Structure 1
Amino acid sequence: MTDRRGQQFKMLILQWGPIPPSGGPHRDRYLDHFGRASLQTAEDEYDEVMRLLGTDAAHIPALDFDLVENDDRARRATQRQKRAEWLAFQSTIHTKLLDEIEPHIRKSVSAAMDALNYLEDHPLREAAHGAIHRAAFVKRGLFGCPITYRDDGDYWTDCPINISHLRMGVSAGLVSDFECSICGKLVEDCDHEMRQYYPKVAERDGEGKCTICNETECDHRAGETVLVEAWASARNVKANEVSMVARPRYPLARMVEKSFDLGRAGEDPRVRDAARRGVLNCDGDLGPCKGFNEMSDWDVKSASSSDEDEAQEIDLF
């Protein structure tokens, strides 16, 4: 019998760049701007996939079901039907074309998930929800959604539907110094006002990164003067703790991977072998979801560690 250790998560905690506003109208504008931009990217990349498919796009399996379905059997029936349709369609597409399509559909999925993280309390929330389902449906149909098995004895998944619908994030308790992006001094020791623009000369640091955009490849020429927004850059960062929260300050500080409980099926050697070979797939992207699982609705005091571990059906054929 496998010793199950409960649900495990891999989370994105921080990203390079300015600290998002903590609240108020500035945060609302921040979330709206980046949410709309992400939603547009998801749409553009999906449209590119359809363009690449050409006349074949008219024959892809239809996403012709309601996005939310609470009946487990109905969801599973839809997943099986759509899996069969995608297997038939995918076999007609040339490998070279699939190679061209893959980066675009993956970017569409990623951008749609970002859009939801920015827009979860926005009128465009459902548009982002639909964008995730649409892109994930195609990605799973053409490229699968692998469930992996690791040496620690656990199965893991980064399924877009499973990951994005568990609405929680992380907040890190950090201690750090903050340096000015213009002069490099500690914020408390410099005269620059944060979020104002100042001229700065483009140079390359010891790692070859541009002092304007922090990229190794960019269009900024050494010696060029550019107007740059002053912001506080964290350095000497020390993490004291990381907490799960319903609404993280960093909108993209979210789960990127989670352990996957297959129940008794996970102990079957055939299932483990399929996972190791990369041919065991999650079907969650192929049908309706159960709606969002909001952390803000959780009753933490009464919830057991296995409440979220729903037994998964695996078809072996």
Structure 2
Amino acid sequence: MPEYAVVHDPRFRDLILPNAELTKLADGMLWAEGPVYFAQGDYVFWSDIPNNKLYQWVEGCGVRVFDSAANNCNGHTIDDQGRLISCEHLTRRVTRREHDGSVTVIADHHAGRRLNSPNDVVVKSDGSIWFTDPPYGILSDYEGKTADQEQDGCYVYRVEPGGEPMPVATDFVKPNGLAFSRDESRLFISDTGLSHDPDGPHHIRVFNISQDGLTGGSVFAEIEHGVSDGFRVDKEENLWTSTGRGISCYDPSGVLLGEIRVPEVVSNLCFGGAKRNRLFITASTSLYSLYVGVAG
């Protein structure tokens, strides 16, 4: 096994390539976040929240600043038309970047009040957009702008195409990362309340999705080392998540299979590459990549 791999369950050996190197693709950021892969151009976007920049890495070309006034954006995803959807801390909104470069606001208010600071976002196959709304972007000027919280809590929202944001989960302290199971029957959501409270939650919960919303919400996995900031699901329904000391991989029932140790605190990750078997990892000041033995 490579030095970066820690095996907790023998099944993890099949998910790691013994000759794959953990490679640093870019560095120099203050807090890298929100990687998203675009297959049509073989490139990755990610945020440097405190520096207010959106970066792009292109295979064979390297790194460039794509947007130097990125509204302290955090998490990103891509919709079925290949458009970038972003969570912006500074403007407290979720936006979509159209193909002509214009920006469409997906959500910025609920019940007549401003959102807290949208953090992470996913798109369902029916076109609905789901996002988390903790207060990180309004707690200080470092990742946004200090402001009062206008919402009664920190919710998870769903936005139907052309509709308004509707809360689907309201019992989180600080909802953060989220991801669908491959068949979209379940939604995983992390709570990172530990970040500002030593007794706060640091786990991932799993919900069943129905026409009426979400049901269940049991704890899928407790994060022993840090918090689960962002995560993705692979083709075998394993969940790969950031933790305080790297990436942890859990099987579909929540059993820890193994870890990938990264030299910096990992914030988020996504699958990409031509075969979707390449992890792109944002970690503190850097963007890393690692080929693995399963596709995302």
User: What's the TM-score bracket when you normalise by the shorter of the two chains?
Assistant: under 0.3
Using the size of structure 1 for normalisation, the TM-score is 0.21
Higher CA-based Rg: 1
Q: Which has the higher helix share?
A: 1
TM-score, normalised with respect to structure 2: 0.22
Structure with more of its chain in strand, by fraction: 2
Structure with more relative contact order (C-alpha pairs < 8 Å, separation 6 or more): 1
